[in-house]
Amino acid sequence: MTTSAKPLFISNKILTLPSVVIFQVAIFTRQWIRDFKTQKEPGVSSMLTRGADKLAPSAHRLARTEKSTHVVGPAVYNRLPDHVTAAPSLTSFKNRLKTVLVERDLYLYEEFLSKHFFL
């Protein structure tokens, strides 16, 4: 008989490995947010969209840079709930982010990217 470890991760407030990766990438992106372009900046998009304040994906040519923090960072940051990204300080950002990730208990990075993750 196999038993899921999910309840143990949640009750002990432990992040799973995919959650730790998302946590670290989101923190890096928050610390260096001024280095990332937003969708509304000139040269990024010619149309005004609902996501104008979202971070623009970084351009890359090589497959090996596809999973770099500068490329993945905007995708991760844009998927975070508004109450997390609106945190006034880095400390409160970390606390809010950890709370959200512990509550959801990811086992796969793809779960985070799914459109139903924060519903």
Radius of gyration of the chain from Cα atoms? Answer: 16
Asked if residue 9 belongs to a domain, the reply is: no
Mean pLDDT of 47-66: 67
Mean per-residue pLDDT of the chain: 81
What number is the average pLDDT over the span 50-73?
72
On whether residue 110 sits in a domain, the answer given is yes
Copy the structure tokens of residue 91. 């400390």
Number of structural domains found in the chain: 1
Q: What is the mean pLDDT of residues 57-81?
A: 78
Q: Is the pLDDT of residue 8 over 90?
A: no
Is residue 48 situated within a structural domain? no
Q: What percent of the chain has pLDDT over 70?
A: 76
Higher-confidence residue: 70 or 39?
70
**Residue 54 pLDDT grade (very low, low, confident, very high; cuts 50, 70, 90):** confident
- Nearest of 84, 33, 40, 39 to residue 57 by alpha carbon: 39
For residue 75, what are the domain limits? Answer: 15-35+60-114
- Strand, helix or coil at 55? strand
Length of the chain: 119
Predicted pLDDT of residue 93? 97
| Residue 2 maps to a domain | no
Contacts of 16 (CB under 8 A, 6+ apart): 9, 105, 106, 107
Judge whether residue 43 has pLDDT over 70.
Answer: no
Task: Give the Cα separation of 98 and 19 in Å (integer).
Answer: 9
Asked whether residue 82 is assigned to any structural domain, the reply reads yes
User: 24: closest CA among 86, 109, 114, 88?
Assistant: 109
Question: Bigger pLDDT: 70 or 116?
Answer: 70
- 3-class DSSP state of 38: strand
Domain membership of residue 76 (yes or no) is yes
85 is a domain residue:
yes
- Which segment of 20-24, 48-52, 109-113 scores lowest on mean pLDDT? 48-52
